[in-house]
Structure 1
Amino acid sequence: MKLKVFNESIIALMLMSVFSLTAFSQQIPAAPPVTPKAQDHAINDNDDININVNINLEKLKTTIKNLSTIQGKQVELAMQDLGKSLEAGFKDFGDNFDKNFNVNIPDISIDIDNPARLSEDDYKQQLADGKLVEKIKNYSKSYSVDGNDVLQINNTFGKITVNTWNKNEFKVDVQMKFGARDESTVNYMADGSSISSSKTGSVVSFKTNLFNGNSGNNNRTHIEINYTVYMPASNGIDITNRFGSVSLPELSGKTLLRVSYGGLTAAGLTNTENDVKVSYGDANITDFNSGKLRVSYGSLKTGTVNNIDAHISFSSIDIDRLKGAANVDIKYGDGFRIGTIDKTVSNINVDAAFTNIDFDFKNSEAFNFDVTTKMGGFDFNDDKVKCTYKSTDEQKGWSSTKTYKGYIGKANTNGKIIIRGNFTQVNFQ
């Protein structure tokens, strides 16, 4: 078994070890080029380039970990500045990579020691120690529905758990939990918070309304608004949840999800028009039929996917099995992996920057491919993958951009894979 290796620069491998939210990196010093070895999967053609990558991702990871305890609006503003700083730094690096590259992780100017919400462990401990007073409010409401009705939920600071049943009815139970160091503060929070609901046309909506402003003192407080939902699996759902997780069973109705500062777990989204966005959290979906997926500052893991249109930033994407088509834009991520590519796949289009791509074709039959890398690399197993064209430096002089064309299994097939990568390592197994 031979392993073909085309790699423009060891820079790509250096970068891939840095751009991971789960790993940390302080500084990678510039180093002189070394003679490449086949087992290193890298060829360095850039003898005149020195790069000093200095990005403190450990600080970024710690900052994001603290987000669940900070006031929402302040976090959004701070993280918008963070995203702009990171993207600006990477853009400058791509335009002028022969200079030092620095991304300054901005300080989040929020009082972390006096958050609006204690962590779950701290809250339970302080309750047990008698340091906090707790007040719980319960809410329940049901609506009779038909197959055209959509359930809409807008929540902050809590979990949303959806269950399915055979009744033509939406039922929503909410537990509102408030904690503070004195009874007057707890009463202020609880009395000023409510759940509003209505049915307008085909939309049944529930919204969390929290007390206005702070409680008037500096006591640490805890807010937890948890929804438990019962609905038919075939009805549509529209959920917005901030600072909390969402858990879904298998749903055949159209699903619109906006989850920020919390995770998503879904057993199966079988509709063809799903629209999912997860920010600052992980998304785990067992089966995804078709639709849009946007994940930033987290990770996306799926089981079987039919068709997917995904935009991934500062995140990873892992697909166990692809059956239809994939259109993926991934930037500054921890990698794009497809475990099994079915023979039914029609096309895969990838636009990537500062990441790596790993596709497994062991169980695939026939695809054509067109791979272009700028300051990146292309590795493949030539027992399965045949490269029929590679652009060379002799054609137009040295270029950081290389193009590779060929086929997997059999030539002249309808299935096609197109990859455009900047500072990206592409691997075909």
Structure 2
Amino acid sequence: MKNIRIVMLLCLFMAPALAVWAKEPMQEFTKTINREFGTAADGTTALYNRYGTVNVKTWQNNTVKIDITIIVNAKSQREADETFKNINVNFTNAWGYVKAETMISETMTYGTGNWWPAKACGDDFKINYDVWMPATNHLDLKNKYGNAWVGALKGRLLAEIKYGELRAEAISNDANINIGYGKAFLSKVNNLSGQASYSELNVTEVRDIQIDTKYSETTIERANSIRITSKYDNFSLGTVDELRLQTKYANLKSNTIRSAYITAQYSDMDFSAVKEGVDADMTYGNLQIDALSRNFSNVSIVGKYTGVTVGVERGTAYRFDAEVNYADAHVPQSATVKNRSDANNREVVQGYLGSESAKGLVKARLTYGDFVIK
């Protein structure tokens, strides 16, 4: 592990010097590996690679075709052959299971002998996979220091991507992803689980998603259910039925949401439209709802050092019940206030707008945070 850390530092700080170091011109040398295996329609294809791309296409054949191209930049064929000898691909084939795994000698990357910084960073070689597999197969994909593309898939996807991008077409099954220092773009997936760290996650359409994130940017355009545990993140949500979020140091912007359940510290939450309700427990942050719909049922907010602003669609009847300490509470001038008290740094205001028996209730209990409903 210590050697790996040293290598990563060298890759970061020595990259500008690598091009200057070699005096002789570099040439490109290639080696190809081609394999084809029969498999079951509902089998599993596993692809584990490093330092290159993985391009996965799906077809109707019950076979897995794997074309691998190893590209080496070297001064001579002899030097290229030394690199080729240290790169191997292991194949495993049992009925219903096909696996290809890149194996790189440690002496080439961070050991002794012919080691040099470009090899450690993967700068003088690339290992690229082109794969055709049954659309109904499950895909087990790992790629480090490279990008991956996956065609339309009916089987499940298990993907681990580090220091690269994952782009996937429609997945009509479930997916589990682990993204680190990379990006993931999923056009459509059934149920999605996994984690993202120091990464960017983009999902166009998902049924249910349950994911842990940190130091990441997450964009979800359409979802039925979202469950996220996070810290140090930014979220951009489109149309969501139900959101459950537990976070620290985050920013969230949502377009249209039915219900949201939030536990947050040091975070800002901005909802453009809420159809049914919000239940939030927040410390050190801000909560803004631009428009509660006419048919909303309940908004309940507990906060410390948190400012709350709630907008309600024009013509909506609702009730309100707010208690703030060391702060101010503001309700519309046209509202009927049944109870108001302001003493000992504690303000209570209760009442309704439109109808005393209105279904919708906005309830707030705040300390050191103003409450505004409009």
TM-score > 0.5, shorter chain as reference: yes
- Structure 1 residue 300: Cα displacement: 0.8
Question: Out of 226, 238, 258, which is 1:339 matched to?
Answer: 238
Distance in 2, Cα, partners of 1:141 & 1:390 = 69
Residues 4-43 of structure 1 correspond to what in structure 2 (within 5 A)? none
Flag the 1:382–1:144 CA change in 2: closer, same or farther, 3 A: closer
Distance in 1, Cα, partners of 2:253 & 2:161 = 27
Q: TM-score, normalised by structure 2?
A: 0.68
Give SS of 1:250's match.
coil
**Is residue 2:296 matched to residue 1:367?**
no
Q: What does the per-residue CA deviation read over 1:147-203, in whole Å, with 9 as the maximum and x for residues that have no partner?
A: 231001111100001111111111111001112334433211112222110113532
Residues 309-328 of structure 1 correspond to what in structure 2 (within 5 A)? 309-322=210-223, 324-328=224-228
Distance in 1, Cα, partners of 2:55 & 2:128 = 8
Distance in 2, Cα, partners of 1:292 & 1:263 = 17
User: How many matched pairs?
Assistant: 287
Larger Rg: 2
Contact 1:286–1:303 (8 Å) recurs in 2: yes
Distance in 1, Cα, partners of 2:44 & 2:257 = 42
Percent identity (aligned): 19
Contact 2:150–2:169 (8 Å) recurs in 1: yes
Give SS of 1:289's match.
strand
Counterpart amino acid of residue 392 in structure 1:
V
Residues 24-423 of structure 1 correspond to what in structure 2 (within 5 A)? 77=5, 109-110=9-10, 112=12, 131-200=25-94, 202-214=96-108, 216=114, 218=116, 220-221=118-119, 222-272=124-174, 274-322=175-223, 324-333=224-233, 335-341=234-240, 345=241, 347-361=242-256, 366-382=275-291, 384=293, 386=312, 388-393=320-325
Distance in 2, Cα, partners of 1:109 & 1:228 = 31
- Structure 1 residue 338: Cα displacement: 1.1
Distance in 1, Cα, partners of 2:322 & 2:69 = 61
Distance in 2, Cα, partners of 1:283 & 1:398 = 49
Any gaps of 5 or more consecutive residues in structure 1? 1-72, 80-107, 400-409, 414-429
**Which structure's residues are more often strand, by fraction?**
2
Flag the 1:303–1:391 CA change in 2: closer, same or farther, 3 A: farther
- Structure 1 residue 350: Cα displacement: 0.4
Q: What does the per-residue CA deviation read over 1:314-357, in whole Å, with 9 as the maximum and x for residues that have no partner?
A: 011111112x2110112111x1111223xxx2x31001111111
Flag the 1:388–1:331 CA change in 2: closer, same or farther, 3 A: farther
Q: Cα RMSD between the aligned structures?
A: 3.3
Counterpart amino acid of residue 231 in structure 1:
M
Q: TM-score, normalised by structure 1?
A: 0.60
- Structure 1 residue 383: Cα displacement: 5.6
**Which structure's residues are more often helix, by fraction?**
1
Contact 1:180–1:219 (8 Å) recurs in 2: no
Give SS of 2:81's match.
helix
Contact 2:143–2:161 (8 Å) recurs in 1: yes
